[in-house]
Chains A and B, each alone.
Chain A
Amino acid sequence: MHKTPTLTVIIPTFNEAGYIEDALKSVAFADEIILIDSFSEDATLTLATPHVSKVLSREFDNFSNQKNEALKHAKGQWVLFLDADERVTQSLEKEIKETIQNPVHSGYKINFPHFYMNRFLYSHSDDVLRLVKREGAHFKGEVHEKLLCNGSVGRLKNKMLHYTYKDLHSYITKKESYAWFQAKQQYAKGKRATWMHFWFKPLFRFFKSYIIKGGYKDGVPGLTVAGVNAYGVFQRYVKLHLLHKSME
């Protein structure tokens, strides 16, 4: 019988005191846990340190660089990327262990159903590549970072628990601060906010989220996701407009 391949879990954090401990407990089975923190101002590090193998502190520029830096320190043959608001269930843990024992592929996507306003949304569940062989794995892209691996990609059956929702207000303010980030990137590319952007982009996002992705099946929570997504797009163009006017 050959030895079980080793697994490293990498968790990027910034002010996650309310979430981090449960996330770490859910991956206690890993051989190594690396926390890459962008200078949290709350108790994140104090709470996390007893549970992790290594803490890296790095000024945040984008998610790709942040996670690639952590990858350099990883020693496991396999790497699992986890966010602080995500939890590995026991059945997912079992499947991960079995999968890396007899891998068919060099990377595995995991399904994320979204837990929102006390229910799972039908319309929001994504497959995201999260479990990869360390050799050759790296992130690309500044805003929507993408994990790449050498070889074929499979999919795990069990789902990841994802607590995106704290309360409506923090959900919206998160979109609002993200809008600054996106606006600055578009500004750097020399883009301007046109009437087309103001009128159609938010409408289109609403349509996509509510109709195409099936948000209408999720009642008021589905409508809220669609409405807030559209608002986030609107915010992005308002902020791009403000940047051109040198206003805040």
Chain B
Amino acid sequence: MKNQIKISAVIITLNEQKALPAFLDSLWFADEIIILDSYSTDSTLAIAKEHEKVKVFQRTFDDFSTQKNVAIGKATHDWIVFFDPDEKITKQLSQEILSTLKDPKAIAYYVNREFHFMGKQIKFSGLQNDNVIRLFNKNYCAYNDNLVHEVLKASGKTATLKNKLPHYTYTTFDNYTAKMHRYSALKAKMLYNKGIKPKGYHFFFRPWYRFINQYFFKLGILDGKRGFILAYTSAFSVFKRYVNLWLLYRNIK
């Protein structure tokens, strides 16, 4: 049976040549694919243009919320699927999306993500899963203006899809930490904009608390060395956030 509701798949990219071919294939169920690229220097654009359903746009990246909202604005259809290239859209999930859209009961749908790190699924650490909206009607939804960890705000009824979404953030360790560094810099900027000043306890307590919370309270210890590495990396990222904040107040790079 033919699907009545048309779907726009929306992606934002920066140097995604590695993940992109398989990712575009996994979007077979979409009627069009919108790519908003922030001037990739690898072959992302070349790969994207080969694909018949793809429409490519380019825009300088400022923050995730703005970038994603602009990308959504380029879509022709009301219903949007918005995945990251490091998420694996399984066959079952795409079929569930299609059958859901035959008669949508909500205006936005959450998917439960599974976190994979250094080649293995993380079962604890508080990072094992999270719920994110990946299918929604754009007339009722927009990203809020958080600079990082942007959240899609849905004004209306939401529901959750049954199938899981494996999330492979990890390509290389340097890549992973680079991402953490970008986040900590953006978070520092958010705190700065709110007028929060760095205090002693930010430096001495917060990073330790993050480590202890993730490794012991949230049982990261059961994730083995991966759990330790994740907890340490997060704690360092918290530390770096406050150093960045301190630097912002002193106008030092």
Q: Which of B198-253 contact A (CB under 8 A)?
A: 198, 203, 207, 225, 228-229, 232, 236, 239-240, 243-244, 246-247, 250, 252-253
Give Cα distance in the complex from A168 to B184, angstroms: 12
Which one, B13-21, B60-68, B157-165, B169-177, is touching chain A? Answer: B169-177
Interface presence of B156 (CB below 8 A)? no
- Closest B residue to A177 by beta carbon equals B174
Give Cα distance in the complex from A224 to B252, angstroms: 14
**With A224-B243, A238-B173: A172-B232 Cβ-Cβ less than 8 Å:** no
Give Cα distance in the complex from A202 to B174, angstroms: 18
**With A198-B228, A220-B243: A176-B253 Cβ-Cβ less than 8 Å:** no
Q: Which residue among A118, A167, A220 has the maximum number of chain B CB atoms within 10 Å of its CB?
A: A220
- Closest B residue to A224 by beta carbon equals B243
1/0 per residue, CB under 8 A from B, across A143-170: the answer is: 0000000000000000000000011110
Give Cα distance in the complex from A172 to B182, angstroms: 12
Question: Which B residues are in CB contact (< 8 Å) with A177?
Answer: 174
Interface presence of A113 (CB below 8 A)? no
Q: Which residue among B203, B207, B240 has the maximum number of chain A CB atoms within 10 Å of its CB?
A: B240
Q: Which residue among B172, B198, B225, B228 has the maximum number of chain A CB atoms within 10 Å of its CB?
A: B225
A202 near B232: Cβ-Cβ < 8 Å: yes
**With A227-B236, A247-B118: A168-B173 Cβ-Cβ less than 8 Å:** no
B203 near A176: Cβ-Cβ < 8 Å: no
- Closest B residue to A198 by beta carbon equals B228
Q: Report the minimal beta-carbon distance from A233 to chain B, rounded to whole angstroms.
A: 11
Interface presence of A92 (CB below 8 A)? no
Q: Report the minimal beta-carbon distance from B17 to chain A, rounded to whole angstroms.
A: 16
A169 near B225: Cβ-Cβ < 8 Å: no
A242 near B246: Cβ-Cβ < 8 Å: no
Question: Which B residues are in CB contact (< 8 Å) with A172?
Answer: 181, 240
B246 near A169: Cβ-Cβ < 8 Å: no
Q: Report the minimal beta-carbon distance from A85 to chain B, rounded to whole angstroms.
A: 15
Interface presence of B185 (CB below 8 A)? yes
Q: Which of B128-150 contact A (CB under 8 A)?
A: none
Give Cα distance in the complex from A234 to B203, angstroms: 19
Question: Which B residues are in CB contact (< 8 Å) with A224?
Answer: 243
Question: Which A residues are in CB contact (< 8 Å) with B225?
Answer: 195, 198, 241
Give Cα distance in the complex from A235 to B181, angstroms: 14
Q: Which of B118, B171, B236, B247 contacts A168 (CB 8 A)?
A: B247
- Closest A residue to B171 by beta carbon equals A248
Question: Which A residues are in CB contact (< 8 Å) with B240?
Answer: 168, 172
Dominant SS among interface residues on chain B: helix
Interface presence of B119 (CB below 8 A)? yes
Q: Which of A21-67 contact B (CB under 8 A)?
A: none
Q: Which of A117, A166, A202, A227 contacts B247 (CB 8 A)?
A: A117
Give Cα distance in the complex from A241 to B207, angstroms: 23
Interface presence of A231 (CB below 8 A)? yes
Question: Which B residues are in CB contact (< 8 Å) with A238?
Answer: 173, 229
A118 near B172: Cβ-Cβ < 8 Å: no
Q: Report the minimal beta-carbon distance from B252 to chain A, rounded to whole angstroms.
A: 5
Interface presence of A114 (CB below 8 A)? no
A239 near B173: Cβ-Cβ < 8 Å: yes
Interface presence of A223 (CB below 8 A)? yes
B119 near A223: Cβ-Cβ < 8 Å: no
A227 near B232: Cβ-Cβ < 8 Å: no
B244 near A176: Cβ-Cβ < 8 Å: no
Q: Which of B174, B228, B243, B246 contacts A176 (CB 8 A)?
A: B174
Q: Which of A189-248 contact B (CB under 8 A)?
A: 195, 198, 202, 220, 223-224, 227, 231, 234-235, 238-239, 241-242, 245, 247-248
Residues on B lying within 8 angstroms of A by beta carbon are 118-119, 171-174, 177-178, 181, 185, 198, 203, 207, 225, 228-229, 232, 236, 239-240, 243-244, 246-247, 250, 252-253
Lowest 4 CB-CB distances: which A-B pairs, in order? A167-B253, A248-B172, A220-B246, A224-B243
Residues on A lying within 8 angstroms of B by beta carbon are 117-118, 166-169, 172-173, 176-177, 195, 198, 202, 220, 223-224, 227, 231, 234-235, 238-239, 241-242, 245, 247-248
8 CB-based A-B contacts, threshold 8 Å: A118-B252, A176-B174, A177-B174, A198-B232, A202-B232, A223-B203, A242-B173, A247-B118
Sample of 19 further A-B pairs with CB below 8 A, known A198-B229, A220-B246, A248-B171: A117-B247, A166-B253, A167-B253, A168-B240, A168-B247, A176-B174, A176-B177, A198-B228, A202-B232, A220-B198, A223-B203, A227-B243, A231-B236, A234-B232, A238-B173, A241-B229, A245-B119, A247-B173, A248-B173
